[in-house]
Structure 1
Amino acid sequence: MELLILGGTRFLGRAVAEDALGRGHQVTCLARGSAPPPEGVAFVRADRDEDDGLAPAAGRTWDGVVDLTLHPVHARRAVRDLTTGHWLFVSTANVYADGTGPEPSEDAPLVDAHDADRMEGMETYGGAKVTCEQTYLASSTPAAVVRPGLIGGPGDASGRSGYWPWRFAHPVGEEVAVPDDPDLPCALVDVRDLAAWIVMATEQRLQGPSNVTGPTTPLSHVLATAAQVAGTGARARPIPPPVLAELGVRPWMGPTSMPLWLDDATMRGFGTLDSSRARAAGLRTRPLADTLRDALAYEETRTTPRAAGLTDDEERRVLEAPPTLGGWSSSPPP
């Protein structure tokens, strides 16, 4: 198979390229070159922000094209300029409307499409991906849309999958501050498992949308698994959400945050997905411990700052917060 990846030099795109190479396919990556391409691919340097940015890949027929773009104009130009036997567009769980609850199916309500050329910020992220989905699904060529949940494992620059095993491996004392929300439903898909499924879906020329993530599991299990792979014996210290809010600790991601946790009731279970359609088509996901262990190995060698979690000073400030902060009147657990 001659596969064109629009991107292919970072995280998921890179994993797709490496998996396809491992299966014996010929892989071409078209990207700006902000990161080095994987060894063994044909690399085409191009800027998709230019109207003719896809010209180096036009004029031939590809067996499959994989696109990871955020911007509707990129999808429109791909459909206009490229010839392929199959499209695969990597979308996101953010296309689902708020309040759908845990594990929405592919038929759940979507956010409104964002029909501008570009995604301007995270507030239009889901809508921009919806527009890209519509563009590919409306083309005359068979198209698959993949809606992943949270993607983790080695190479996760966001730090969302790597922070908890790293923090348990590097506690500031005998305890690790965690959100007191043990039953929060969580899900995570290893980047390598997602990449393998994308290549397989392209080989099989699957059509339509498919959710792709790992099994739903409570936050308490994620944290216990992170502690297990860290192997330091540090104990989790649950901190009530009102205390975290008063201390300025954010949910989900970003600086001064507790990754994976969400304190918005309308978002409870976000990222958990009914992935039965993908599993019936061959999706296989590795144990959570394997993903967190490899995410920890990446954290130990990463050369860029982590974009999620607490610094050591922030961790101490949370652990040392007085019991009455945020209206919390009970004593912290021993």
Structure 2
Amino acid sequence: MTRTLILGGTAWLGRELAEQLVAKGKDVTVLARGVSGTAPQGATFVASDRRLPGAYDQVKNVDWDEVIELSYARDLVEGALEALSNRTKHWTLVSSVSVYEGNDEPGASEDAKLVAPTDLDDYAHAKVVAEQITQLAVGDRLLIARPGLIAGPGDTSDRFSYWVSRFALAANGNVLVPQTEGRYVQFIDVRDLAAWVLDAGFRGLTGTYNVVGSERNFSDVLLSAAKVAGYTGEFIAADDVWLKEQDVNYWAGPHSLPLWLPLDDAAFAQRSGERFKAAGGSERSLEQTLEDVLTDERARGLDRVRRSGLSRTEELVLLQKISESGKN
């Protein structure tokens, strides 16, 4: 029986990986502090703080078929490699398309230039270093998965889920949107990402892959989200200059319009996924992901405090400003 160790398997992607392994009847062990959640029933849970001495004592003397590393902190990555790499048949590192230096080349492949890592407090820089040190330790046993935007039920980042939940909350009221011309959305459902990572590990696949879905026009994503939500109101579009004057942020975080990117960075959502598809990668439909996300969002509360986006109150203030200025 295939023996898999997930380093961090109680939060979103990690738990999805563990759940899918359990469903397949596989032997899966999850090593984590357990702060972000619990391991699924059927998985072996090893509670361990990876920054403490002896963190890997319960798992280091096992011959693992697969280790899946989700962290990008250098000390955690190095510690795991030192303790486990010599007794592991195949190693998967989940990285990110954020490692690329530029976001101005549509269709850029895995061979695009990476950022020069000079600041390990920066997410992209830390991911590059994680890739480099893992490659040195594991060599030709390594699979590097570089997902882009991850979407699906259970997402706590509130990026992709913002729009379908906002349309559902607004019902027939106006919704503020950015200008969408020349902008794109590219996501991979967490369930599809996990399924591919596991299958690739079982097959012993190695190399580097952009695990990304299809490139979609931002406008099409908004229209699909509105349809799934049963939205009957009106989109009120504001230009970049005005939104920035109102301190509305790009992409994610508080007081933002999620998935909205500067035009100079539009190709961040246009990465090539050809290598991923050729290696068996697949994606469910946009509508299916949106429907499942909306079900999850309704369960969590459409008007809850979110990590990304505008509150409905903030949005209505901005819409009122637009109305008073005659911009729309």
TM category (shorter chain) comes to: over 0.9
43, 49, 52: which one pairs with 1:50? 52
- CA shift for structure 1 position 158: 0.9
Partners of 1:79 and 1:301 lie apart in 2 by: 39
Higher-helix-fraction structure: 2
1:254 maps to 2:256: no
- Deviation readout 1:137-186 (Å, 9 max, x if unpaired): 22245000000000011011011111100111011753211001233021
1:96 alignment counterpart:
100
- CA shift for structure 1 position 197: 0.5
1:17 alignment counterpart:
18
Is the 1:149–1:272 contact (alpha carbons within 8 Å) kept by the matching residues of 2? no
RMSD: 1.8
Partners of 2:7 and 2:132 lie apart in 1 by: 18
- Deviation readout 1:206-237 (Å, 9 max, x if unpaired): 11110011100110011001101101322322
1:72 alignment counterpart:
74
Is the 2:7–2:31 contact (alpha carbons within 8 Å) kept by the matching residues of 1? yes
- CA shift for structure 1 position 321: 1.5
Give 3-state SS (helix, strand or coil) of 1:274's partner. Answer: coil
The normalised TM-score by structure 2 is 0.93
- Check 1:20–1:271 CA distance in 2 against 1; reply closer, same or farther (3 A cut): farther
Partners of 1:235 and 1:202 lie apart in 2 by: 46
Unaligned runs of 5+ in 1: none
1:132 alignment counterpart:
130
The one-letter amino acid of 2:170's match is P
- CA shift for structure 1 position 241: 1.4
1:105 maps to 2:109: yes
Partners of 1:269 and 1:318 lie apart in 2 by: 28
273, 298, 301: which one pairs with 2:299? 301
- CA shift for structure 1 position 244: 1.1
Partners of 2:293 and 2:62 lie apart in 1 by: 39
Is the 1:51–1:77 contact (alpha carbons within 8 Å) kept by the matching residues of 2? no
Is the 2:147–2:211 contact (alpha carbons within 8 Å) kept by the matching residues of 1? yes
- CA shift for structure 1 position 272: 3.1
1:179 alignment counterpart:
178
Unaligned runs of 5+ in 2: none
- CA shift for structure 1 position 51: 4.2
Is the 2:145–2:211 contact (alpha carbons within 8 Å) kept by the matching residues of 1? yes
Is the 2:193–2:211 contact (alpha carbons within 8 Å) kept by the matching residues of 1? yes
Please identify, of 284-293 and 99-108, the stretch whose mean Cα deviation from structure 2 is larger.
99-108
What percentage of residue pairs aligned between the two structures are identical?
A: 38
1:162 alignment counterpart:
161
63, 66, 85: which one pairs with 2:65? 63
Partners of 2:89 and 2:104 lie apart in 1 by: 34
The normalised TM-score by structure 1 is 0.91
1:38 maps to 2:36: no
1:213 alignment counterpart:
212
1:148 alignment counterpart:
147
- CA shift for structure 1 position 323: 6.2
The count of corresponding residues between Structure 1 and Structure 2 is 321
